[in-house]
Amino acid sequence: MYNLNPVVTKEYILGRVDQVQILEYYLGIRVQEKKVKSPLRRDNNPSCSFKANGNGVIYFKDWAQGFTGDWIKIIQYKYGLTYQQALERCAEDFGLIKGNTSVDVVIRDSIPIKIKPKESNIEIKIRGWDVNDREYWSQFGINRSTLELYNVYPCEIVFYNKKIIYTRTKRDLAYAYRFGPGKYKIYMPERNAFKWLSNFNSWQGLEQLSSGNVLIITKSMKDVMCLKQFGVAACSPASEVVEPEPEVIEDLSTRYEHILSLMDFDYTGIRMSNILFKKYSIQPMFLTDGRFGSKDYGAKDISDYYQINGYSKTLSLINEVKKSKPWIK
């Protein structure tokens, strides 16, 4: 197996945790429209607010002190860290590298704030499918019938704790992955940051499975749906940083003769693959990138591979895997 050290970037973090959750964690208050008291200093009168710029990046502004900062700058300010140290602190606190989130946060003037889990309420207004949706999903070989099978809906408006956080435009698409009443993952693919919003933390694609010869455990719903287009059964855990529940793996093992994993060839994906292999003997597969003398596939996951190479080459790749593993029917 491979071992990699993670390169913690803003994109790496925001691909796994949304900025609202980060802000609320480190500030200890809800992101909201009305003015609030500063949690970073003693503040008797509400003099702070949250504002979003045109790219959807949310800033905390202290009007009395003249301070404005996004989630990275807030972490820097609170703990006296450099930019990179702030990223690494966030990744560690949210369990993206090691450990789990801490419970107590101590702010700059040593007043402790007890962070309590807050229920995230997500509501959506669904719109009809249109040509922009078809153009986006067809890049990955995913058609409307597959999207509907996996309960994916195009959004007109998204509400987070009763606040509108998304309104549809042609250049800013959003999709809701529905996992049950009031349980959603919101995916905004066109954004550079704040791509995800979720109040669901469990497996994806389980209810669409039956039983059979081979199952692939991959890292995202998009990859699950891409594989489905080729008749390959797949599912994904809540994230690559959450260890799978033994009872889920046990159930899948009774329904499928063989289970393989297909995670990203990075620190997080390799870590998850190692867990699945060591604990459950699930053989890993990777779209490698040339490191350690491996083949360079030029894509980090199967949906990206399809986007770059199209249907025929993706089908050839899947057939190559089948030939290399004769027990695949």
Over residues 80-89, the pLDDT tens digits come to: 888 888 998 8
Instruction: Map out the domains of the chain as residue ranges.
Output: 10-114, 122-198, 212-324
- Give the list of residues 6+ apart from residue 134 with CB closer than 8 angstroms, or none: 144
Q: Which fold has domain 10-114?
A: DNA Primase; Chain A (3.90.580)
Token pair recorded at residue 17 = 């945790």
Residue in 250, 249, 211, 248 with CA at minimum distance from that of residue 233: 211
Is residue 297 pLDDT above 50, yes or no? yes
Alpha helices in 1-47 (DSSP H): 10-14, 19-27
Residue % of the chain over a pLDDT of 90: 45
**Domains 10-114 and 212-324 alike in fold:** no
Distance, CA of 75 to CA of 13 (rounded, Å)? 14
Say which residue the tokens 């669901």 belong to. 200
Reported as a single tens digit per residue, the pLDDT across 143-158 is 999 999 999 999 999 9
Rounded average pLDDT over 45-57:
82
For residues 190-194, average pLDDT: 73
pLDDT at 67: 83
Cβ–Cβ under 8 Å, residues 21 and 196: no
Pairwise CA distance, residues 31 & 45, whole Å: 17
pLDDT-based confidence at 110, cuts 50/70/90?
very low
Query: Mind listing the pLDDT tens digit for each residue in 216-251?
Result: 999 999 999 999 999 999 999 877 766 788 999 999
Look up residue 245 and give its DSSP letter. Answer: P
Rg (CA), the chain: 21
The alpha carbon of 90 is separated from its chain's Cα centroid by a whole number of angstroms, namely 15
Question: What average pLDDT does this structure show over 165-189?
Answer: 91
H-run or E-run covering 71? helix 71-79
Q: Are 117 and 148 in contact (CB under 8 A)?
A: no
Distance CA(26)–CA(74), nearest Å, equals 8
Our CA angle for 91, 184, 25, nearest 5°, is: 35
pLDDT of residue 109: 32
79-86, Cβ contacts within 8 angstroms, sequence gap of 24 or more: 84/8
**99 vs 169, which has greater pLDDT?**
169
Strands (DSSP E) found in 12-66: 48-52, 58-62
Topology of the domain comprising 212-324: Dna Topoisomerase Vi A Subunit; Chain: A, domain 2 (3.40.1360)
- pLDDT(118) > 80: no
Sign of CA dihedral 155, 156, 159, 163: positive
d(CA 40, CA 60): 11
Amino acid 78: pLDDT: 84
C-alpha pair distances (Å), 60 with each of 13, 119, 166? 19, 21, 19
Mean pLDDT of the chain: 85
- Return the DSSP state at 257: E
